[in-house]
Amino acid sequence: MIDEAFWNESYRSGHTPWDFGGVPADFRSFLVEGGKLGRVLIPGCGSAYEVRELLEKGNEAIGVDLSHEAVIQARSILGDVGGEALCQADFFEAPLPEASFDAVYERTFLCALPPDLAMKYPKRIQSLLRPGGLLMGYFLYGEEKDPPPYPMPPEKEQTAFLEAFDLLVSRPSSDPLPIFAGMEFWQVWKRR
């Protein structure tokens, strides 16, 4: 069962095969080319390298993670720039104000959710983003015989996201970890 205890044990034991150890290239380039994003949410932020990058580039960033151990690790990565940027909570229950974010960054959070919870993700993101806000990051597509991770079949993308978002960019990730190779796409979605 994937619950807080599972994630805590993963971080405590150092068994975190999804951890990139830094900021992946497509997102780094996006921040350089696109300038400031404003107020950015990172659900399931894990070690929070991207929270640090966003803060250093003058954005407001909030990382939310269910796991106490992940938040401890994230604090050590953030160091002095961390401040109020981390929140230990269930993303689906956290009291985040509606339409209050300019952007949401995704990486290996959606694909870590069991399908019943993953179904709630598009609506939750839609409610937190302001109209015109961006959902950007890394999305897994394909089939996995022994999940997790839970990649999305492409038709799920159609029904779940296209109701409220336009797809602006979609291309294979430039530097996927070997475990995600061939499945990971860099995408930018705009909330209508």
Ligand X SMILES: C[S@@+](CC[C@H](N)C(=O)[O-])C[C@H]1O[C@@H](n2cnc3c(N)ncnc32)[C@H](O)[C@@H]1O
Binding site residues, ligand X, CB under 6 A: 7, 18-19, 43-47, 64-67, 70, 90-92, 107-109, 112
The smaller minimum CB distance to ligand X, of residues 66 and 85, is found at: 66
Nearer to ligand X, 180 or 189 (CB): 180
Q: Nearest-CB residue to ligand X?
A: 46
CB of 45 to ligand X, least distance (A): 6
Token readout for 101 is 């974010």
Q: Which is nearer to ligand X, 15 or 155 (CB)?
A: 15
Q: How far is the CB of 135 from ligand X (least distance, A)?
A: 14
What length is written for the chain? 192
CB closer to ligand X, 115 vs 131: 115
Cα-based distances in Å from 78 to 20, 58, 61, 63, 127 = 15, 14, 12, 11, 28
Element (H, E) at 123: helix 121-128
